Amino acid sequence: MRDFLRSEFFIQNQGRMRVITSFLLSVCLTCLILGFLWDFVANRPLKKPSAEFSSSPSSDQGIIKKENIVRLIMRQRNSTPKKSTSTFQAKAISDIVAPEPDFKLKVAELNPPVTPTEAKGFNLRGNLDFSVFKMGNFSTRLSRAGAKQGFITVSLLWDNYNDLDLHCIGPNREEIFYSNRKGKIGELDVDMNAAHERSREPVENLYFPRRISGRYQVCVNHYSNKGGKDPTSFTVLIRVEGRREMRLKGQISSGQPKQDIYAVNIR
């Protein structure tokens, strides 16, 4: 009896399971079919109206392709930004005219000023005048001669064989020149065109190494003519630490007295 009931129950449950299984299979199959249809509809290519790329039966496909290419080129030309117009015009180098330099300058407009502001006791003689010169000649000649530099440095430059001499009287009233080259406070370290020496680019140099208050009187003397044309033009360069350098130009002939050039006052 017990075995019978069990078999009967099993048979009834087995029928139910078959029904449930069939139902689930039919549901899955329906979902698969619906999914396939949805995918087909969603991915179906849409035909967009286009007069340029429409495919219509024609006896000459080459003409249609050329027309499409021409349309594309014209579209690109319309979308390309136009070049900006420029007023620049090329000009030959030979046509370029440089402006004429303006040499009409007043002495007050020169930089640095050529008028001394700290000078005292200056005696203008022998066509002596102020001028601004390039330092190149001085620098080359002084460097070549091994000239030294101190708190006060005075240099003399001229351009012939004549023997010019540089003198300077210091605050102690001692005169530094060729006969007293090394004094108590100053020294003449470069002396050219003396004796048998002959140079077309002579220079002389004297310096005072330490700062000593007082008056320094600079002079130039024409010692002898050695074949150079007189009057001999010369340039004096005066350098004082902390001040703007000064350049002075003048002329002197053989037989003329010694010229007072400039007085430097140190306080």
Question: Does the structure show a pLDDT above 60 at 203?
Answer: yes
Looking at the structure, tell me whether residues 248 and 147 fall in a common domain.
yes
Q: Is 233 inside a domain boundary?
A: yes
Q: Is 71 inside a domain boundary?
A: no
**In the prediction, which pLDDT does 116 show?**
46
Question: Does the structure show a pLDDT above 90 at 248?
Answer: yes
Q: Is 234 inside a domain boundary?
A: yes
Tell me: the pLDDT tens digits for 154-177? 999 999 999 999 999 999 999 999
**pLDDT: which is higher, 97 or 248:** 248
Looking at the structure, tell me whether residues 154 and 31 fall in a common domain.
no
Q: Which residue type occupies 213?
A: S
Of the candidate ranges 86-100, 152-166, 247-261, the one whose mean pLDDT is the lowest? 86-100
Structural domain range at position 22:
7-35
Q: Is 250 inside a domain boundary?
A: yes
**In the prediction, which pLDDT does 162 show?**
95
Looking at the structure, tell me whether residues 122 and 240 fall in a common domain.
yes
Q: Is 55 inside a domain boundary?
A: no
Query: Is residue 220 within 8 Å of 236, Cβ to Cβ?
Result: yes
Question: Does the structure show a pLDDT above 60 at 34?
Answer: yes
The rounded distance, in Å, linking the Cα atoms of 71 and 51 is: 11
**In the prediction, which pLDDT does 66 show?**
78
Percent of the chain with pLDDT over 90: 45
**pLDDT: which is higher, 32 or 44:** 32
- Tell me phi and psi for residue 128, to 5 degrees: -75, 135
Q: Is 99 inside a domain boundary?
A: no
Tell me: the pLDDT tens digits for 96-121? 555 544 444 454 554 555 444 444 44
Looking at the structure, tell me whether residues 153 and 252 fall in a common domain.
yes
Query: Is residue 199 within 8 Å of 153, Cβ to Cβ?
Result: no
Task: Identify which of 5-9, 125-129, 136-140, 259-263 has the greatest average pLDDT.
Answer: 259-263
Looking at the structure, tell me whether residues 30 and 128 fall in a common domain.
no
Of the candidate ranges 19-33, 96-110, 142-156, 206-220, the one whose mean pLDDT is the lowest? 96-110
Domain count, the chain: 2
Q: Is 31 inside a domain boundary?
A: yes
The Cα angle at residue 255 between residues 248 and 186, in degrees rounded to 5: 50
pLDDT, the chain, mean:
78
Looking at the structure, tell me whether residues 162 and 262 fall in a common domain.
yes
**In the prediction, which pLDDT does 3 show?**
58
Angstrom CA distances, 59 to 51, 56, 62, 63, 68, stand at 18, 10, 9, 9, 16
Task: Name the band, by pLDDT with cuts 50, 70 and 90, for residue 50.
Answer: very low
Q: Is 257 inside a domain boundary?
A: yes
- Name 76's Cβ contacts closer than 8 Å, sequence gap at least 6: none
